[in-house]
Chain A
Amino acid sequence: MKYPEKNVAITGIGQSRISRDAGFSPLSLTLDAVLEAIADAGLERSDIDGMSCWPGDYQDASGMAPVGIPALQDALRLKLGWYSNCRETAGQFGAIFNAIAAISANLCRHVLIFRTMYQATARKTSFANASFQPGGRAFWPYDWFAPYHAYAAASQQALYFSRYVHESGIKPEQVAQIALISRQNASLNPAAIYRTPITLDDYFDAPIISSPLKLFDCDVPIDGSTAIILSRVDCARDTRNPLTRIEAIGSSMQYRNSWTQLDDPATQALPGVAEMMWGRTDLSPADVDVAELYDGFSFHTINSLEALGFCPKFEAGAFIDGGSRIALDGELPINTNGGALSAGRMHAYGQVHEACVQLWGRGERRQVAGDPRVAALSTAGGPLAGCFLLVRDD
């Protein structure tokens, strides 16, 4: 087969409780998600013969990545044909792209992929948001930001977002629609962190973090874990859920891989991966039924809407104006579980989980009407980007 991802399916999903104060260890949360995903696929623990994750155990107190493959493999006593974490890759989806390669190379059949975060609890005891500490010394790539009080991802993203606003002319009340729609969707998702709808006034009354980023443009650090099972299609036919293949991936790196010198801060790295993805499928943006687009910051979603071709470059403002197009009953429902902005920072894996929920008709009060079959997913941030299409075959 020309494009190996078409021979790989997501067969199961699982998620722990997402909270601001778990009261359970990161490994325990991970086990909640993983065991649910294996059971959801209709598989046994002994069927899992591959493991993949982004980024691997950070071995620090930040809560960014408190669980890696070794601790989880040992806890589950899994016997594997292939395993790998990855960090220098196409954003969080690199773990999925690597697993596709491993499955295609016949190294494994059912790969367990997980993402666990513990930042809500970690923030109570340390300055866990920091890329580096005041007065300390910083390593690459933060060394170029370190002396300038640019302490968090928000500092970098605000620099990119500011350039986007300058070039596109998007209006603040248009940007706000990403946060408002996310919260509206979250109000229908019992598992979301924040479920009380917000108004445009609430958005403008909230603090500015770093202009033009306001509080509701930033996602919510949480404690939680999400797991998915990726399977070779011929092995997926025996599993429990409708066959849902990866139709096309965008994993390329066509630009300078640098948080300061990236080719175009206004669009970040998404155009290159989107071009790769659409080059590997006969589908087009008009075929997409639901879009789960990374929203570490609302700006990422806006970048994705343009780069993935749902609207022309620098015209997302008009596209999302008023919010009706991207609402649950709109032409392109986005971030249907509330996204990271309202359901919590699951670092793109919340989006993967939710895409399956929608394609498998499990959305309950937030289910997109019309039996959605095609989902588009993205992740983004500075020089990192990845995207893929998920298609239910039946």
Chain B
Amino acid sequence: MDETDKTHAARSLPFLTLDNRDFWTGGANNRLLIYRCNSCAYYVHPPTTFCPRCESRDVGAQPVSGFGTIFSFTMNYKKWFPGLDVPYIIAFVVLEEQDDIRLVSNIVDCNPDDVRIGQRVKVRFEQASDIWVPLFAPVGDLS
């Protein structure tokens, strides 16, 4: 794997499974896919085939808007290994569709010093091997 980003380090990647494949590959079609109950419309994340709200087993991937809000973030300064370019932002992003879905991500395409909790962000994707990594960038007047 030789894909690198601004940190000049190859991203570690998840193993693809039958449960997580839609999430990690939806970016190939520029779509963020989140599992959703087809009975009660509740989003279920991490993806699994059971709705904890209505107990339906009819749960599957559906595209969401890709908009979200920064719930929390950290500016990483520690050079965990030689060659890692710092600082960079790691964040929890809450999806606009449902406030109990929290994605880990990097906040990109902005000045890291301008990142704030509560900021509205939108997804974009970066391909790394067989994965399309969802990243988020600020939208609106703060971008």
Contacts and interface: CB of A to CB of B under 8 A. Distances in A.
B25 to A, nearest CB: 13
B64 interface: no
Given A159-B90, A166-B117, A207-B77, A146 B72 contact: no
A127 B77 CA distance: 17
B123 interface: no
Interface string B12-34: 11110000100000000000000
A136 B90 CA distance: 19
Contact of B104 (A132, A133, A150, A163): A150
A93 interface: no
A147 interface: yes
A362 B11 CA distance: 50
Interface stretch (A30-38, A137-145, A246-254): A137-145
A300 to B, nearest CB: 16
Interface residues of A, number: 41
**How large, as a class, is the contact surface on chain B?**
35 or more
A358 B1 CA distance: 53
Interface string B65-109: 000000111111110110010001011100000001111111000
Given A137-B12, A149-B11, A209-B78, A260 B106 contact: no
B133 interface: yes
Contact of B10 (A134, A158, A160, A210): A134
Given A129-B80, A150-B90, A210-B90, A159 B72 contact: yes
A84 B117 CA distance: 43
A152 B90 CA distance: 12
Contacts of A134: 9-12, 81, 84
B7 interface: yes
Contacts of A106: none
B63 interface: no
Given A159-B72, A261-B46, A146 B12 contact: yes
B13 A148 contact: no
Given A159-B91, A210-B90, A260-B102, A133 B12 contact: yes
Nearest to A212: B74
A151 B9 CA distance: 12
A159 B11 contact: no
Nearest to B133: A147
A235 interface: no
Given A130-B80, A260-B104, A166 B46 contact: no
B74 A210 contact: yes
Contacts of A129: 80
A210 B75 contact: yes
Contacts of A324: none
A210 B84 contact: no
Contacts of B106: 148-149
B77 A210 contact: yes
Given A134-B9, A138-B15, A159-B92, A143 B78 contact: no
Contacts of A138: 12-15
Given A135-B12, A137-B14, A147-B131, 11 more contacts: A129-B80, A130-B80, A137-B15, A138-B14, A138-B15, A143-B14, A149-B11, A155-B76, A160-B72, A210-B74, A260-B92
12 contacts: A127-B80, A133-B12, A134-B9, A137-B14, A138-B12, A138-B15, A147-B13, A147-B14, A149-B9, A162-B73, A210-B74, A261-B102
Interface of A: 127, 129-130, 132-139, 143-152, 154-155, 158-163, 166, 207-213, 258, 260-261, 265
Interface of B: 1, 7, 9-15, 20, 45-46, 71-78, 80-81, 84, 88, 90-92, 100-106, 117, 128, 131, 133
